Structures are given as C-alpha cells and as structure tokens.
Amino acid sequence: MTNPVQTLTKSVTVNDNPFMKPVEWLSLFLLAGVILVVLPLMLDGFRLNLVGKYLTYAFVALGLVICWGYAGILSLGQGVFFGLGGYGMAMYLKLEASSIENTKIQSTPGIPDFMDWNQITALPWFWQPFKSLPLTIVLAVAVPVLFAMLISFAMFKRRVGGTYFAIITQAIAAILTILIVGQQGYTGGINGITDLRTLHGWDIRTDSAKFILYFVNGGLLIACILAAQYVKKSKLGRILVAMRDKEDRVRFSGYSVAGFKVFAFCFAAGLAAIGGAMFTLQVGFMSPSFVGIVPSIEMVIYAAVGGRLSLFGAVWGTLLVNWAKTSFSESFPDLWLFGLGALFIAVVLAFPNGLAGIWREHIEPRLTRRAKSLQAPEPAIVPPHGAPAE
C-alpha cells in the first residue's frame, strides 16, 4: 500500500500475494484514465458534473463490494450513511452561506433560513461543530461510522442473520427519513439543505469549481479503491470471505466474527459517507430523498450490476446504470422503469457476478494469456532468489 511500485516489482519476484495482479493494475489505470483523462476531455462541463455525481454513488458501491460481496452482509440502508455524510457537509456549507450579512432580513440573522422560518432563534447544539471545516470533515465520516458501529455491534454480537440484517437496515433508513422530514426546523425537512454557496470562501457553484471538484472526487475515489483493495488483499479480506462461507469455522479458528463484520459494515459506511459529502459539494444540496429505502436499494443494484466481488466492477456498474438511467429516462421515461426492473432480475438470474463476471470469464483469460506470452522469458532469466527456502 505504501509504495505500489515496490509492491509491483515484488510481485514479479517473490510475492505470491501481490497487492494487485498485473491485470488489476491494468484495470486501475484504465479506470483512472477514463475518469481523470478521457471523460474530462470528451464531456462538456454539464455532463462532466453529472459523471461526478454518479461517481459519488460509486463510493457506496465500493463499500457494498466489501460489505456485501466479501462479508456477505447485505445492507439496505447505505443511504443512511450516504445521507449522514452529505448532511454533515451540507451543514457546514449552509452555515457558511448563512452569514449575518446574507441573512439580515431574517428575524434571527446568522442561522440557516429554514430555522428562522421555524421560529428557532439559536443554532442548535449539534450544528455548532459544523462551523469548523476540519471538524466537519472529521464528523462527516466519523458520525456515520459510529452510527454504523452502534447498529451493527448489537446485531452481530447476537448473530443476526443476513436477511434480518437487511430488513432492519431498511427499517432504519425509513425511520431516519421520517425523522429528517419531520424535524424540519433542525434539518430543513423534505426540501433538504439547499442553496449552498461557498466552501471556506471558495464559490463551489462556478464551472471552474465544479471542474476542480470533479478531479478531487475522482482522486478520492481512486484512493478509496486502493484502500478497499488493501482491505480485500489483507488477511482480513480473506477472513471476510471465509466468514461468508463458514462462519462457525472462523469462530473456531479463534476469531471474533462479530468484530470483523462490524469492521466491514463500518468500512462500507465510511465510504458511503465520503460519497455523500462529495455529493453535497458537487450537487450543491442534500435532501432526505437520498436517505430512504429506494435510493439505498438502487445503490445495491449498482454494485450488483458491476459485480459484487469486484471493486472496479462496482465503479463501472455505477457509471453504466446511471448513464443508462439518464439517457433512457430522457427519451423513454416509461421504458426506463421496466428496464431497471429487468436489470435487477437479469443480474440476479443470469449474471450473479455482474460486469466483472463477464470480464473475468471472457476477457481476462485472453489478456492473461497474452500477458503471459509476453512475460514468459523473464522468470527464466531472473531466478526467484527471494523465495523462501523449502
């Protein structure tokens, strides 16, 4: 993780467990190339901003690959964490937009407009920390992760099964939505937190800001892919797979299963929260419609279409589904829901491993064969001197 290049060289010589296989490096460069070079060159500012929005969902899909694909924990409440991250960021931006100067027509200047409409005369305590940007960045991720820990710890300790967990997370998404909508004086209600303007004085509404934010988002996404790859490649990743297959056996190898599940769930929650915060920055508002059941399940389908076991697949899946949604719903709004529904069914019935499965079964073998025929002479020349003596 510290130095990918070093790891790469090692993999050729000694490491039988490289950080990434050559074909994975290829996928990474391909993805990074498309996100950071090709799309910005090809698309106008408007479309690029759209892609930026889609990519924030990819954070959620990445988390689901670890949590659902690897650990077998299906969460139907990822919208909760996406939303909490997004709301955290939105609260900071809203406070900055609600300067005394901007809100002087209100009966209480200096607080967000929706609070003023709801007769709230002082900033509530839980808004206070969001006056500070560093604190906001920490809290936007920490609060969702702690919340995830709270939910999952109790349940995994008591060995709640996969289906129950899915249903309970779904119920939590429903509860949080009702709460946010109902407590509009504190949360902005169903309209959400809107009219966000500047980040530490920097106007995020301009085209140039959106362009920069796109790259920040893309870069963060690549970093998160690498982090997820690290988790996946570590022994912890293998324990997650082991747990998904034979939970009892893992317990009898001396592991506390609950702890690992909590980690996977919290990791996914953290990624979703980062996605949510980036969403707010790029879209310019946050509303309860990203917290509820429907968006949460849609996020699962992104991961499923991409391939629930593939980090890169998750990103491609997210891009593909959203691209299809935007273009289909522009021309055939009716057909789109049929299409989306059919997509769910097709992925489950015919392609349980999604795009990544198709890639792995049909494209990768060819690439590997190709790569092997190119690399074949090398090991003969350089003997594996670092290999352990057997």
Residues 108-167 that bind other proteins (CB under 8 A): 113-114, 116-119, 151, 154-155, 158-164, 166-167
Of residues 32 and 174, the one with the C-beta less far from other proteins: 174
Of residues 11 and 32, the one with the C-beta less far from other proteins: 11
* CA terminus-to-terminus distance, the chain: 28
Residue type, 71: A
CA distance readout (Å), 208 to 4, 205, 215: 32, 8, 11
d(C-alpha 93, C-alpha 220), whole Å: 20
Of residues 31 and 62, the one with the C-beta less far from other proteins: 62
Q: Which of 300, 320, 321, 356 binds other proteins (CB under 8 A)?
A: 300
Query: Dihedrals φ, ψ of 19, to 5°?
Result: -60, -45
Residue type, 78: Q
Region of 140-148, 252-260, 358-366, 371-379 interacting with other proteins (CB under 8 A): 252-260
d(C-alpha 197, C-alpha 318), whole Å: 27
Q: Which of 58, 61, 228, 239 binds other proteins (CB under 8 A)?
A: 239
Restricting to residues 188-207, name those near other proteins by CB under 8 A: 189-192, 194-196, 205
Of residues 31 and 169, the one with the C-beta less far from other proteins: 169
Q: Which of 41, 201, 245, 373 binds other proteins (CB under 8 A)?
A: 245
Which of 43, 71, 78 has its CA nearest to residue 57? 78
Q: Which of 9, 256, 368, 375 binds other proteins (CB under 8 A)?
A: 256
Restricting to residues 207-226, name those near other proteins by CB under 8 A: none
Restricting to residues 315-334, name those near other proteins by CB under 8 A: 326, 329-330, 333-334
Restricting to residues 24-83, name those near other proteins by CB under 8 A: 44-46, 49-50, 53, 68, 74, 76
d(C-alpha 280, C-alpha 189), whole Å: 16
Query: Using CA atoms in the order 201, 202, 206, 209, what is the torsion angle rounded to 10 degrees?
Result: -160
Query: Dihedrals φ, ψ of 3, to 5°?
Result: -135, 95
289 near other proteins (CB under 8 A): yes
Q: What token pair was written down for 39?
A: 């799309």
Of residues 86 and 218, the one with the C-beta less far from other proteins: 86
Region of 28-36, 59-67, 259-267, 363-371 interacting with other proteins (CB under 8 A): 259-267
234 near other proteins (CB under 8 A): yes
Region of 88-96, 130-138, 236-244, 356-364 interacting with other proteins (CB under 8 A): 236-244
Give the distance, in angstroms, between the CA of residue 70 and the centroid of all CA atoms in the same chain: 15
The three-state secondary structure class of 203 is strand
Of residues 127 and 260, the one with the C-beta less far from other proteins: 260
Q: What token pair was written down for 274?
A: 């980062």
Q: Which of 122, 216, 338, 375 binds other proteins (CB under 8 A)?
A: 338
DSSP H or E stretch at residue 198: strand 198-199
CB of 92 to other proteins, least distance (A): 17
Residue type, 56: T
